[in-house]
Amino acid sequence: MGDRILIFYGSYRSDRQGIALADWLVRAFAERGATVELIDAKAVDLPMLDRMYKEYPRGEAPPALEALAAKIRRADAFVFVAGEYNWSVQPGLKNLTDHFLEEWFWRPAAIASYSAGRFAGARAGLAWHGILSEMGMVVVSTSLAVGAVAHAFDADGDPSGDGGAALVRAFPRFADDLAWWTDAARHQRDRSDPPY
């Protein structure tokens, strides 16, 4: 069985452009043999954070929160498709992520950023690196960054234009980096219990 990868996407906008990147990543990782699922923050629709998953008595968390916690615990790795809002992170994705903590521990994460502009969400990607590290994930050094995201995919969701071509060229290294850390983390978890 291939790596179990969850891909997280966080835009709540009615005209979401980054979803094309998220959907393409699901297909691209699946073509490499991974078992992949898209976790769309808008579809999950968690409330603004009041209580973290761990703060509910066992068996009393809302069903959507319980189901997502189980998926996160079973995953081998995570990919965060991070749009840039005002030089920072998407509130929908951040809210979803903050509902959990220990569930993320000891697994690798990769960041695929995007924006409508030429900086390709790089500032959001940088912010996410620190956030995910603080939440107990090993963030791989290779990232993807897609600028002018509205023009990087055609009507069928396939990469197009210069941005799409750059994405296709960069993806193999991104996926290989995540796969290496996923394998390393899996073997280490099998070998010894985490220190906390």
**Which pLDDT tens digit goes with each residue over 77-108?**
999 999 998 889 999 999 999 999 999 999 99
DSSP characters for 171-195?
A: HHHHHHHHHHHHHHHHHHHHHS---
CA 98 to mean position of chain CA atoms:
13
> CA 109 to CA 178: how far, in whole Å?
7
Q: What is the pLDDT of residue 167?
A: 97
Q: What is the pLDDT of residue 193?
A: 86
Q: What is the pLDDT of residues 31-52, one digit of tens each?
A: 999 999 999 999 999 999 999 9
Look at residues 79, 61, 72, 85 and name the one whose alpha carbon lies nearest to residue 174. Answer: 79
Q: What is the pLDDT of residues 117-172, one digit of tens each?
A: 888 999 999 999 999 999 999 999 999 999 999 999 999 999 999 999 999 999 99
CATH fold of the domain at 4-191: Rossmann fold (3.40.50)
pLDDT of residue 1 exceeding 90: no
> CA 185 to CA 123: how far, in whole Å?
27
Q: What is the pLDDT of residues 57-66, one digit of tens each?
A: 999 999 999 9
> CA 72 to CA 101: how far, in whole Å?
10
Q: What is the pLDDT of residue 118?
A: 87
Share of the chain above pLDDT 90, in %: 91
pTM for the model: 0.96
